[in-house]
Amino acid sequence: MDTQRRTAVNEIEPASRNFAEVTEPVSQLNGHKTPAMDAAAFHSASRRILDSVNTVIDGKSEAARLALTVLLAQGHLLLEDVPGVGKTLLAKTLAKTIDCTVSRIQFTPDLLPSDVTGVSIYNQSSRLFEFRPGAVFANIVIGDEINRASAKTQSALLECMEEHQVTVDGTSYKLDEPFMVVATQNPIEMEGTYPLPEAQRDRFMARISMGYPDKDSEIEMLETHQATSPLAKVSAVVTAADVAAMIASVQQVYVSQAVKEYTVSVGRATRESPLLRLGASPRSMLQLLRAAKATAALDGRDFVLPDDVVNVAESVLAHRIILDRKAASAGESPNSVIRGILSRLPVSQDPADASARSATRTPPVSRLRGNH
């Protein structure tokens, strides 16, 4: 680990805070405030979800963890990779582990915005217009091959993803919580597709590239996926209320001033980089910090370390930035630019947090994890 990050742990760890101590309800489920989940229950619930997903998706535990991280951070997930590596399967498996409403939209060129959001239909008997909800009215919405729909249909998701509501004929309808869009797209076959504009990509908290499985995982897949799909054996291991309580716990994770400054420095460095035409947006900084808080919670901590920001930075930022043409021709990639920025960026120190730290408490050993 970078020496500056190792020494900064003491500056960032808060004193006498317990993950289970704060019980102020901060998350909402269908309009009702939900109390935070205690640490033991949080660990048990997250472990059940990950174990269930990993029984279906062979050799992609980090992808499964990042998908859960995005869910707990109240974000949306973009799965982008070549065909046949399990993008849709990961989305369906995550949805099936939660006892909540799930819908799947197959995006095609003839899909209409009203198919996504809903439409008002005239009822002859009552002589009134009645709203018929579209497929987006679910806790988890799986958008398969999102780049095959027209830009007009893609834009129907913008309000849903940002404000968790749908506006049809001047009337706004709130979506149920938790709400998450998991979209897939194939970056290889571009014929008949409509690439997502930057504004839409910025709505997705993180992008995952699944990658090919290793040899052992692929052999195991051949042995277990022939007769029946493991997805058929997956059942719900948590409820929507459980997820709302987990989200409330993540929202209460402590973030020091030093980590906030470090997060902002990462974003500003992307905007000032000569290798980029477009840097990370302020929205991406919010989402980067939320993802870091969820990462800390999944690691059993009630405070964020710089490592938590580093671990999710590539997945959260790489799909939002645009390379300069010279940098692209020189072999740079968005991920390599993000890695270069992180390697050069110093960690700021917050004396106030340092003085608040308990002298008897041993700082945890943090680690860097590879992103997929």
List, in order, residues 6 or more apart from 117 with CB less than 8 Å away. 134, 136, 156, 160, 166, 168
Give the count of domains, the chain. 2
Residue 103, pLDDT above cutoff 60: yes
- Pair (248, 145) in one structural domain: yes
- Domain limits at 352? 254-359
Q: What is the pLDDT of residue 191?
A: 60
Residue 119, pLDDT above cutoff 50: yes
Look at residue 28 and tell me if it is in a domain: no
Q: Over the stretch 288-337, which tens digit does the pLDDT of each residue have?
A: 999 999 999 999 999 999 999 999 999 999 999 999 999 888 889 999 99
Mean pLDDT of 207-213: 84
Residue 349, pLDDT above cutoff 80: no
Q: SS3 for 314?
A: helix
Residue 362, pLDDT above cutoff 70: no
- Pair (289, 154) in one structural domain: no
168 strand-pairing partners: 171
The domain spanning residue 264 has which CATH number?
1.10.8.80
**Are the C-beta atoms of residues 209 and 163 closer than 8 Å to each other?**
no
- Pair (50, 140) in one structural domain: yes
- Pair (196, 51) in one structural domain: yes
Token representation of residue 1: 């680990």
- Pair (126, 170) in one structural domain: yes
- Pair (169, 269) in one structural domain: no
Q: How many CB atoms lie within 10 A of CB 287?
A: 26
Mean pLDDT of 37-46: 92
Mean pLDDT of 64-85: 91
- Pair (102, 163) in one structural domain: yes
Last residue of a domain, one of 225, 252, 279: 252
Last residue of a domain, one of 227, 252, 277: 252
Q: What is the pLDDT of residue 52?
A: 93
Strands 27-29 and 32-34: antiparallel
Look at residue 33 and tell me if it is in a domain: no
